[in-house]
Amino acid sequence: MTECLDSWAVLAWLEGEEPAASRVQEALVSRPVMSWINVGEVAYVVERRAGADRSRDVVRELRRLLNLDLPTEERVIEAARVKAGHRMAYADAFAVATALAHGADLLTGDPAILQGDVSWSVVDLRRS
């Protein structure tokens, strides 16, 4: 099964937050997919916490480790549909839309993505 990472998953991995970090490390063997929107989210969080140089290094590493998905018009509309039906950030909706488009399990610990009646395949990294 294909796997998809969101920004929550990558940030937990970068911070060594267990059990998420180990599960993400396992997923990296298979080059999981991630939306460029979520890469941007990781980049700004890392830049705020550790500076622009560290942010550039992280993005370079993600380019090497992941199958990065540049959103198409269809993906933008799908993310909007997901956002319209669920209380989550628009960037989170891109993670969901990307996972759906690739038939992937979405690896996350983000409560906004995990809560409620979800119609996508999700792995809760807080409990892995």
What DSSP letter does each residue of 25-67 carry, written as one string? HHHHTT--EEEHHHHHHHHHHHHHHH-HHHHHHHHHHHHHHSE
- Quickly state the pLDDT bin for 119 (edges 50, 70, 90): confident
- 8 Å CB contact between 109 and 9: yes
pLDDT for 118 equals 79
Q: What is the pTM of this model?
A: 0.95
Number of Cβ atoms within 10 Å of the Cβ of 99:
29
Place domain 3-122 in its CATH homologous superfamily.
5'-nuclease (3.40.50.1010)
Q: How far apart are CA 73 and CA 51, in angstroms?
A: 32
Look at the alpha carbons of 31, 33, 36, 42 in this order and tell me if their dihedral is positive or negative.
Answer: negative
